């Protein structure tokens, strides 16, 4: 598949191409901060098919944890675009909300970190669910 996306203000744009590596929904506490309260929905895309076509994102990695993720976001409007994780060394997690057409995501295949799920979160019944990370 091939799709384009970017941030809310249009300053940062990207194109992603390749076979998706994973379609996930993550309920961890960290994701709740980053989305404003809900789980994150992410599409794992091959790193070599992902390119920024406009602007440059800001990057943040925690210094106080082992194996921190690096999150990329627009420094102007704050929209989260991707996460780079040691769990997916050949790929990049694209935030579905940043895709020009989020509907192509469909539904998550894997739901992780449900141990942190809140009562107001929705977990699709037909997904593979995991209290912590999927093995």
Residues that bind Zn ion (CB under 5 A): 7, 9, 11, 26, 28, 31, 74, 76-77
Q: Which of 112, 101, 109 is nearest to 134 (CA)?
A: 112
Residue 26 or 117 with smaller CB distance to Zn ion:
26
Pair 17, 49: CB distance under 8 Å: yes
Residue 11 or 17 with smaller CB distance to Zn ion:
11
Least separation in angstroms between residue 2's CB and Zn ion is: 22
Residue 20 or 35 with smaller CB distance to Zn ion:
35
Least separation in angstroms between residue 82's CB and Zn ion is: 13
Pair 42, 95: CB distance under 8 Å: yes
């Amino acid at each position: 598949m091939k799709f384009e996306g970017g941030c809310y203000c249009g300053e940062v744009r990207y194109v992603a191409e390749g076979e998706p590596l994973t379609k996930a929904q993550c309920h961890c506490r960290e994701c709740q901060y980053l989305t404003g309260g809900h789980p994150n929905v992410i599409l794992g895309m091959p790193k070599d098919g992902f390119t920024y076509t406009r602007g440059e994102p800001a990057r943040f990695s925690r210094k106080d944890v082992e194996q921190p993720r690096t999150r990329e976001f627009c420094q102007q409007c704050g929209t989260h675009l991707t996460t780079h994780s040691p769990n997916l060394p050949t790929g990049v997690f694209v935030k579905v909300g940043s895709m020009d057409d989020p509907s192509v995501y469909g539904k998550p295949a894997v739901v992780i970190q449900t141990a942190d799920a809140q009562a107001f979160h929705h977990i699709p019944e037909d997904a593979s669910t995991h209290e912590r990370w999927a093995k």
